[in-house]
C-alpha cells in the first residue's frame, strides 16, 4: 500500500493506494495515527480513490481514526470511493456517520466553509 | 461442472491477498457477476484474517483452503489448527468482537455475502468455516425452470 499525506490548513489529507486489509493496516496505522494526532489536525480527509479492496480490518482502522477525531471534536471525511469499496462501507454502516465526497476539491470546499456535518 | 483446488499457506497477513484472488479466480469459472466475485473476495479475506488474528495469535500456523465447484455451487472451506473458539454462540452474535477496532464485522460480512456458512470449532484443535455460494443468474434460471 502506498500512503502519502499532505497538511492543508487544519485538514490532513491522506491518499491511499492499494488494498486496505490485514496486510496493509499496520502501514496505515503507523503513518496516519501519529500524523492525525498532531494538535492542528481537525479534519482527516481520506482519499480512497485508488483503493480497490477493503474488508472489516480496513474499516476497523478507519473507524478507529473516526472515534479519535470525534472525541476531540474533529471530523473524518471520505473521498472517491470505488463501487466495491462503497458497497462494503455502506453495509458496515460507516457511511451513515462519515460524509463522503466524489472529489477532494468538493470536500475541501465544504470543510473550508464549515459545511461538513 | 466439477472442479477442485487446494491452497495450503502460512498464517501471514501478506498471504490474505493471495487467498482472496485465488478464490475469486477459481469462482469465475461459474457465472458470477463482478459484484458477486467481490463478495467472495471479502468473505475469503474475512475468514483468512480470522485465522491469522484469532486462531494463531502468538505464532504462525497453517491455513488450508479448499475450493470446490459442485453442481453450479461454489464451496469454500477455510480451516486452521489453531486455538479454536470457546463460545461459538457468542461469536455468531452480531457485532461480537474480542479485539478493539474489529467491530465484529468479519462473520457478518461472510453471512451477508455468501448464501450460507457453517462454523465448526473445537477449543485447542482448530476451526473450520465452510461457505457456499451459487451465482444469482443460475438461481433465477433454476427458479424459472421450476415455475415452467
Q: Which domains does chain B have, with CATH numbers?
A: 2-147 (3.30.565.10)
The rounded distance, in Å, linking the Cα atoms of B48 and B45 is: 5
List, in order of start, the domains of chain A with CATH numbers: 2-110 (3.30.750.24)
Give the per-residue pLDDT at B148.
61
Cell numbers representing residue B14 in the block? 501478506
Query: Whole-prediction pTM value?
Result: 0.92
Which residue of A1, A23, A67 is the best one to mutate when testing the B interface, meaning the one whose CB has the most B CBs within 10 A? A23
* Cβ-nearest to A59 among B35, B41, B105: B105
A-B contacts (CB, under 8 Å): 56
- Sheet of B126-133: strand order equals B2-10, B62-70, B73-80, B126-133, B116-122
Q: What pLDDT does B90 receive?
A: 82
Mean local confidence (pLDDT), A38-44: 93
Whole-angstrom distance, CA of residue B125 vs CA of residue B12: 19
The verdict on A95 touching B (C-beta cutoff 8 Å) is no
Give ipTM to 2 decimals.
0.91
Q: How far apart are CA B107 and CA B92, in angstroms?
A: 7
Intervals of chain B under pLDDT 70? 94-104, 147-148
Question: CA of A55, closest CA in chain B: separation in Å?
Answer: 6
CA atoms in the 13 A half-sphere facing the CB of B139: 9
Q: Where are the alpha helices (DSSP H) in B51-132?
A: 88-91, 105-113
Residue A88 touches partner B, C-beta closer than 8 Å: yes
Q: Which chain B positions have a beta carbon within 8 Å of A64's beta carbon?
A: 100-101
Higher pLDDT, B142 or A51: A51
- Residues of B within an 8 Å Cβ radius of A: 13-14, 16-17, 20, 35, 38, 41-42, 45-46, 49, 52-53, 100-103, 105-106, 108-109, 112
- Residue range A90-99: average pLDDT? 93
Q: Which residues contact B74 (CB under 8 A, 6 or more apart)?
A: B26, B27, B30, B32, B40, B67, B68, B132, B133, B134
Amino acid at each position: 500500500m502506498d500512503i502519502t499525506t499532505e497538511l492543508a490548513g487544519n485538514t490532513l489529507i491522506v491518499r491511499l493506494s492499494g488494498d486496505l486489509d490485514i496486510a496493509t493496516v499496520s502501514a496505515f496505522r503507523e503513518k496516519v495515527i501519529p500524523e492525525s494526532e498532531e494538535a492542528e489536525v481537525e479534519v482527516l480527509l481520506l482519499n480512497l480513490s485508488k483503493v480497490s479492496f477493503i474488508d472489516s480490518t480496513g474499516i476497523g482502522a478507519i473507524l478507529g481514526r473516526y472515534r479519535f477525531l470525534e472525541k476531540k471534536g474533529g471530523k473524518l471525511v471520505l473521498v472517491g470511493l470505488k463501487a466495491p469499496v462503497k458497497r462494503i462501507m455502506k453495509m458496515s454502516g460507516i457511511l451513515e456517520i462519515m460524509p463522503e465526497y466524489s472529489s477532494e476539491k468538493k470536500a475541501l470546499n465544504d470543510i473550508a466553509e464549515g459545511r461538513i456535518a | 461442472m466439477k472442479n477442485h483446488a487446494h491452497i495450503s499457506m502460512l498464517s501471514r497477513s501478506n498471504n490474505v491477498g493471495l487467498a482472496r484472488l485465488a478464490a475469486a479466480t477459481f469462482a469465475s469459472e461459474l457465472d458470477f457477476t463482478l459484484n458477486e466475485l467481490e463478495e467472495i473476495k471479502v468473505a475469503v479475506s474475512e475468514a483468512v484474517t480470522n485465522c491469522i488474528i484469532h486462531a494463531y495469535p502468538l505464532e504462525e500456523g497453517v491455513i488450508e483452503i479448499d475450493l470446490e465447484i459442485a453442481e453450479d455451487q461454489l464451496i469454500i472451506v477455510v480451516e486452521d489448527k489453531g486455538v479454536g473458539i470457546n463460545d461459538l454462540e457468542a461469536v455468531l452474535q452480531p457485532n461480537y468482537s474480542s479485539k478493539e477496532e474489529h467491530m465484529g464485522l468479519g462473520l457478518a460480512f461472510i453471512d451477508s455475502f455468501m448464501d450460507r456458512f457453517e462454523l465448526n470449532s473445537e477449543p485447542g484443535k482448530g476451526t473450520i468455516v465452510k461457505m457456499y455460494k451459487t451465482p444469482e443468474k443460475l438461481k433465477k434460471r433454476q427458479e424459472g425452470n421450476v415455475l415452467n
